[in-house]
Amino acid sequence: MSQYGAEVVWERGGQDFAGGHYSRAHRWRFDGGLEVAASASPQIVPLPFSDAAAVDPEEAFVASLASCHMLFFLSLAASRGWCVERYRDAAVGTLSKDADGRLAMTEVVLRPEVSFAGRQPTPTDIADLHQRAHEQCFIANSVKALVRLEPQRM
């Protein structure tokens, strides 16, 4: 078993907290020393009480799914002797009401584009790599939202 942590830090400052007029901007700190500006999404909490330049939890959710899939894909490709030259994924998550009427990330679409150097895998090989990566991605295995794959050609 492994454990992973992140520190989330927010401070009120002189803002009107009880009146709801406070910034949702905060910081995420990770064990390697990285600190990331975070905020509620401006689509959820209007400006100026959110920070459009910061990462919001919804974006981080989508990025973690896309990143997990990519890391497994790269590992699988390397183990089969294919050299991935570039990997890009313009992933998109949809926040909408779930079957119980609650807001949830109901779908994430991964759209990976992959180019290879040297020996080229067939389209069937690439589809198999994506399917195996999807099955092994423990982040995707941890969520109830539909995670769809739509591999793109470079």
> Which pLDDT tens digit goes with each residue over 8-42?
999 999 999 999 999 999 999 999 999 999 999 99
HSE-up (13 A, CA, CB side) for residue 54: 23
Q: Would the CA dihedral through 35, 46, 63, 135 be positive or negative?
A: positive
pTM assigned to the model:
0.92
pLDDT of 79 above 80: yes
Nearest residue to 4 via CA among 72, 68, 89: 68
Reported as a pLDDT band with limits 50, 70 and 90, residue 153 is confident
Residue 146's pLDDT is 87
Checking if the pLDDT of 145 tops 90, the result is no
* Percent of the residues in the chain that have a pLDDT greater than 90, as a whole number: 94
Domains of the chain with CATH codes: 1-55 (no CATH), 57-149 (3.30.300.20)
Q: How far apart are CA 12 and CA 44, in angstroms?
A: 19
